[in-house]
Amino acid sequence: MLITSVAYTDGIKGQGNRSNADDTKYHRFKLDGTYVDSMVVQGGGHGSSFGAHLVDGIPEIWTSSTNTAGGNTSLGRFKWVPNTVINQGNGLEVIAKMPLIDGHWFRRIACDFEQGWVLSVMASGPVEVLKVDDLLAGKWNAVYSFKIQQFGFNPVASTEPNFNTMQSNDIHFPYMFINSGDANKKDPRILSCINVVTESEVFHRENLIETFGDKWVDNYFEPETIGYYHDKDGAYVLQGFAMVTKENDISYIHRTLFKTRLNVRDDSGDKKNYIDKDTSGEEENVA
């Protein structure tokens, strides 16, 4: 199935008609787009990026979280329970507290459960990569950290030229994938891949409307999400976009999902095993 998330602002029956922009609603769909069920996470944030894997056949989601009073900023996890409303201490377990950076806390979370890593990206630029085992021990201990500005991104919410709206991220260690851009024509829609160990950009390309279906897009093309996956045929990314069409003077918004294969190359022949060679934190490539 597919799991999606959206910011949720409707009042929730039985919760004092609570209406909070920090709530998140998750939906499940079959792969053909058929709706299955939903659940609401109070204090779940804007949504966008989250980690998910199956535990005993049930989806478990890792995401940023606050309590219902708007405090206790944490990384949390919850099991999928259809058609429920949950929050910290009531269906959502706190894994580790998140420290403030420059007075801000909100982070977009992505997970590589296969290799044991969690990616945290802040809208203002700080990137942290942490070990799952450390987080499960309650420790927010970034193994790798840098700023997205090192790679030419300018993550400033502004109408001025030369800025980037940071959208979603994913990680397949040591690579992080970025989907940035907005619906306007001033903010380029960028797909980027960065090696978090070497702090080097692997590729950087612009997502063009013409590539993703301009025949039914009416001047609106907003990147929303990205996910890395691999199967027997190799690696690929899924990218989600919001697109708008107009029919009989009525505008319709479409949530679209596109699959793009990645061409993986290794000209050096080195095995990608990164280990600490000393206590300075530098890394080496082992042949």
| Segment (H or E) for 170 | strand 166-172
Q: What is the pLDDT of residue 192?
A: 94
Average pLDDT over residues 78-101: 94
What's the whole-number mean pLDDT along residues 5-16? 65
In one-letter notation, the amino acid at residue 13 is: K
Residue 281 reports pLDDT greater than 80: no
Q: What is the CA radius of gyration of the chain?
A: 19
Q: What is the pLDDT of residues 16-66, one digit of tens each?
A: 444 455 789 999 999 888 999 999 999 887 766 899 999 999 999 999 998
| pLDDT band at residue 278 under the 50/70/90 scheme | very low
pLDDT above 70 covers what percent of the chain? Answer: 83
- Confidence at residue 186, expressed as pLDDT on a 0 to 100 scale: 73
Q: What is the pLDDT of residue 121?
A: 93
What is residue 268's predicted lDDT score, i.e. its pLDDT? 54
Domain range list for the chain:
2-217
pLDDT score for 124: 85
CATH topology of domain 2-217: Neuraminidase (2.120.10)
Is the full-model pTM beyond 0.75? Answer: yes
Closest CA to 88 of 104, 77, 103: 77
Per-residue CA distances from 258 to 1, 107, 147, 191, 265 (Å): 15, 25, 28, 13, 22
Q: HSE-up of 280 (CA within 13 Å, CB side)? A: 5
pLDDT tens-digit map of 192-246: 999 999 999 999 998 888 888 766 666 788 888 999 999 999 999 999 988 888 8
pLDDT of residue 160: 63
Q: Per residue in 166-201, pLDDT tens?
A: 889 999 999 999 998 887 777 888 999 999 999 999
Residue 216: predicted pLDDT: 63
Question: How sure is the predictor about 286, in pLDDT bands with cuts at 50, 70 and 90?
Answer: very low
Residues 115-153 pLDDT 10s: 999 999 988 889 999 999 999 999 999 999 999 999 988
In the three-class reduction of DSSP (H, G, I as helix; E, B as strand; rest coil), residue 148 is classed as helix
Residues ≥6 apart with Cβ < 8 Å to 59: 3, 28, 52, 53, 79, 80
